Amino acid sequence: MSATPVWVQLVYLACAVCFILALKGLSGPRTARTGNLVGAGAAVVACVVPFLYLDLRHVPLILGAVLIGSVGGVVGARRVQMTQMPQMVALFNGVGGGAAALVALLELHEILAVPGGGDLVEWFVLLATAFTVFVGSVSFAGSVVTFAKLQELMTSAPVVFPGLALAFGVSLVAGVGLATQLTISPLLWVGIVLALVGLVFGTLLVLPVGGADVPIVISLLNAFTGLTVAAGGYVLDNVVLLVAGTLVGASGTFLTLLMARAMGRSVANILFGALKGGSTLGSGVASDRPVRSAGPEDVAIMLAYAERVIIVPGYGLAVAQAQHTLRELVDVLAGRGVEIDYAIHPVAGRMPGHMNVLLAEAQVPYEQLKEMDEINGDFKDADVVLVVGANDVVNPAAKTTPGAPIYGMPILNADEARQVVFMKRSMRPGFAGIENELLFEDNTTLLFGDAKDSMSKLLNAVKAL
């Protein structure tokens, strides 16, 4: 392997620093756009540099692939709906893991193409290659399954069948054994079989996960992809890949742990709970119990004459694309002297930050968005809590029902408010598939209908007061 020119190493080092600065910028709403641009710019520079110092073969094919990928990425990013953002993240993440595995296989082919090449490579490089092939394949297959679950191309319920645990264990042992074999005696066919075993293992890893736990698995697979990119950077002697992959792996790991904590669950329970007879999804059957409902005019009076209102947004708000109408309603109420805040649960929607981005799209002031720990003590002083398209994040079963799939998950204390208004399409349960007892309390009122249509009627009713 030829030595990398000093100027290239310096450029890659600068790109790595930019990735770190980008990650820092993404930690706050005011700097997120700049951080995103810095990271994207560094990635473009890192991709251009090899054309300037390497004697590349098949340049037209490389440029063609770059063009196809760029067009696909731009079109996909522009057309994707906010409600489909988790699916897009899963798909892009899977592509990254699959690409890392393919690059590692190609590098293995290049090594073995040289007579005695396998003997000239350090064992740790071969181990990193095996790791990249296996874990990259796991990330690709698992991400495809999570995409299919969220896109409703397959059931979102846990998929468990007799012998699943045995198949899972056998595929894991086979993966470790093949990786060991590839490290000791490198052969291309061993790498290919290892990739296939990784695809099986990744599929079996995600199939038993269901319901609200799927986004957490996406974050975990994202960490896997980062680690494969970092290992691939070591194999290719590329510092920018090593740093970028390490950043993604570390941030994905922390995010997974934080999301699991927000759900009140362990990562092991999320991944393997269904294998022990548990489930991350309830029955999903709509309740026929009587509830108290009202029309937009009645709810408008409750809101307009309240002193303190807290809004709890959820996935239903994103589906209905009602965030702009909600923002207008809040402005009208604020003009009447009503104090209003948005209560954001860590896993509201389908991924962390989902509600923040959705409301930012409607230009909701960031100061009005309150995290769960910050606002939970204020619910007892709220006159009205308006729940728009959320369910599980305010379900008291998380505190009162030990057998519930969401038991132990920290929730927003909406049940402590004087009045609760739920905007719902029907009595079907939330993503966890279980009934919400808060719907049947004496201080709860339901406003049925599509969130956008109901919000428009509610806005007009408030204006008419």
Q: Give the H or E element holding residue 388.
A: strand 384-388
* Cβ–Cβ under 8 Å, residues 168 and 108: no
Phi and psi at residue 275, in whole multiples of 5°? -70, -20
Which residue, 69, 346, 98, is CA-closest to 224?
98
Distance, in Å, from the CA atom of 59 to the CA atom of 47, rounded to the nearest integer, reads: 13
Distance separating alpha carbons of residues 43 and 70, to the nearest angstrom:
13
Burial class of residue 59 (count of CB atoms within 10 Å of its CB; 0-12, 13-18, 19+): exposed
What pairing do the DSSP bridges indicate for beta strands 419-424 and 444-448?
A: parallel
Q: Is 147 exposed, middle or buried (0-12, 13-18, 19+ CB in 10 A)?
A: buried
Residues 168 and 205: beta-carbon distance below 8 Å: yes
392 is catalytic: yes
Q: Largest alpha-carbon pair distance within the chain? A: 85
What is the rounded distance in angstroms from the CA atom of residue 255 to the CA atom of residue 245?
15
143 within 8 A of 90, measured Cβ to Cβ: yes
* Cα gap 233→237, rounded to integer Å: 6
What gap in Å lies between CA 239 and CA 230, rounded to an integer? 9
> Exposure of 58 by Cβ count < 10 A (0-12 exposed, 13-18 middle, 19+ buried)?
exposed
Q: What is the DSSP string of 60-83?
A: HHHHHHHHHHHHHHHHHHHH--GG
CA atoms of 166 and 426, how far apart (whole Å): 41
> Annotated catalytic residue: which of 237, 341, 381, 392?
392
Can you read off the two tokens belonging to residue 366? 């960031």
Residues recorded for the chain: 465
Looking at the DSSP assignment, which residues form a beta bridge with residue 387?
312, 422
Residues labelled catalytic: 392
